[in-house]
A and B are shown apart, each in its own frame.
Chain A
Amino acid sequence: MRIANIRLKLICVVIATIFAGCAHYPDNPRLLSVSPSTGYRYSVVRQQPEKDKPFLILAFSGGGTRAAAFSFGLMEELRQVVYAAKDGSKRKLLDDVEIISSVSGGSFTAAYYALFPERFFNEFPERFLKADVESALFWRLWNPYNWFRFVSKDFSRIDMADEYYNDEIFEKKSFGDLLSKPRGSIPFLVLNATDISIAHRFEFTQDQFDLLCSDLDGVKMSRAVAASSDFPVAFAPLTLNNYKENCGALPKWIEPALDREKNPKRRYAEATAAQSYRDSDRRYVHLMDGGLSDNLGLRGPFQAVTTNDSPWSILKLANLGQLGRLMVIAVNAKTTKQRTWDEESRPPGIGAVLTVVTNGPMDDVSSDSVEMIEDHFGQMKQLARTVDSCNKRITKDCPNAKQIINPIITDFTFAELTFDDIPDPRLRRCLQELPTTFYLPRKTVELLRVAAGYLLMHSDDFVTGMKRLDPSWSPREVVIDAKLIDEVCHSTP
């Protein structure tokens, strides 16, 4: 009798293992034919921009809940920035957000805003920022049902996290739900991950999915956010199917860009990466945290601002005369930890080394991105000034000569919000020491929100840009409560 019972239990375990071993990540749907007028693309989601309105791009960095709360603080502050438009009406700057490009932790904020803009400010703090997502994921990991599912080669920890985000945060919404919203009502969302096979940025837009012959409309928002925040080691890579059947030709810029002799290295690399999705041996795409290729979410906007190759090229809008004022605000939740490793001869342990290996490259790429945007905007301003000076000289010296048409009519503003710019050394150190996790105490979340507002209102670049937009505008006073600082930073000397 006892032996029969053990046998029965064993059979049950074997059956459960077999069925759970069939667990599979959600397949991204196949796309039969590429159509530039449908799918989740900038030109489909947004209206034609107006030259007189600011074209605002937000970039949200990685950094777990710290980054999500810091980005949320910026959104709260933007809601309060009201300026006088050219026609005299009052406008909220938040309504001018055209594009949000995000990475990792910042992707939770960006995706939630795009899906639920009307309840974002009331719901998101409780739904995500103040929730203990880390513990919730941990307990799902210890659920015996998931152990059986992990036996499958097609189901891993990141798919489990995807399920949690889908059920508990994003209400099972997909990119198709974003497309069903009225055109122009929400910013264009660009969630960035990293394609680890080619070490290249991968964005969740239909233009990117065209390369895979896959339809993004049927992909859940949670899947994109999971890929964007798929932190190395903690999670396994996330898999997408690459169908690559003949759904349509590659974008036309790729062929001329593949001429190695006649193109800059960066352009050639972009074209090679795009073309690789149609290689016969690429049947799947493996993604990890967007921070591995760009921890600020700025690479996509940089490509859009500097090339006509981007599917959401901003340079093209300039050529069409639709871009009068470009503003980019980057929320950089980067931390700078003080190490004590050099106080003794014993080298740091494996945990410390892993932290350096995973975070080091992300921080380097981020610094490069900021410099690239700043340099580019600086160069464009200088070129525009040169043409203006030339025209003044022509007017003075050759009054009958024709003026030179200045192609650069755009006003450029770039502002970066970073903890490094907090003047109070104790608060600065306290924020820089915050961990990268999916749980932070409620007071810490509050502090990050206020800090974002404070930094925006104290950003010289932002204030100067706003003054050029509306000379009567002035920044509001944001005070960070000393009691809140004491409560959060009590252990910081």
Chain B
Amino acid sequence: MDEFFQCPCSGKGDVILDGSNEGPNKDDADNLLPKQCNAGQHVISLECSSGRRCSPKQVEIKDTDPISPMQVAFQCE
């Protein structure tokens, strides 16, 4: 079963999951986009559009659903 997560951040950027670019964290209307992944431990980071980077986070993603995806928050520093 797939898991779901979002990367809230004041800025926009690309979600990097275990080294792979999974697309933008927000759409053009600034809505957070849910991302799909497999259950387990992942390293997630955000490549901010402004060129700034966020520190990667190691998170365990499980027991989520598309209505309430896990929130992995970042701040573009």
Contacts and interface: CB of A to CB of B under 8 A. Distances in A.
Given A252-B18, A308-B17, A262 B41 contact: yes
Contacts of B38: 264, 267, 306-309, 315
A38 interface: no
Interface string A394-419: 00000000001111100000000000
B34 to A, nearest CB: 4
A386 interface: yes
Contacts of A387: 66-67
B19 interface: yes
Contacts of B20: 252-253, 308, 313, 316
A320 B15 CA distance: 10
Given A251-B19, A309-B38, A319-B22, A380 B58 contact: no
B40 interface: yes
Interface in B1-32: 1-2, 4, 15, 17-23, 27, 31-32
Contact of B23 (A251, A264, A320): A320
A355 B27 CA distance: 56
Contact of B66 (A252, A262, A267, A404): A404
Interface residues of A, number: 35
Nearest to A310: B38
Find the residue from A267, A306, A307, A407 having the highest chain B CB count within 10 A. Answer: A407
A256 B69 CA distance: 20
B66 A256 contact: no
A321 interface: yes
Contact of B1 (A262, A313, A379, A407): A379
A488 B31 CA distance: 62
Interface string A231-273: 0000000000000000000011101110100111001000000
Contacts of B1: 376, 379
Given A264-B40, A320-B23, A407-B66, A306 B2 contact: yes
Contact of A321 (B19, B21, B23): B23
Contacts of A308: 17-18, 20, 22, 36-38, 42
B18 A256 contact: yes
B65 to A, nearest CB: 7
Interface of B: 1-2, 4, 15, 17-23, 27, 31-43, 58, 60, 65-67, 69
29 contacts: A252-B43, A253-B20, A256-B58, A262-B60, A263-B41, A308-B17, A308-B18, A308-B20, A313-B20, A315-B36, A316-B20, A319-B15, A319-B22, A319-B23, A319-B35, A320-B21, A320-B23, A321-B23, A376-B1, A383-B65, A386-B65, A386-B66, A404-B67, A405-B27, A405-B31, A406-B66, A407-B34, A407-B35, A408-B36
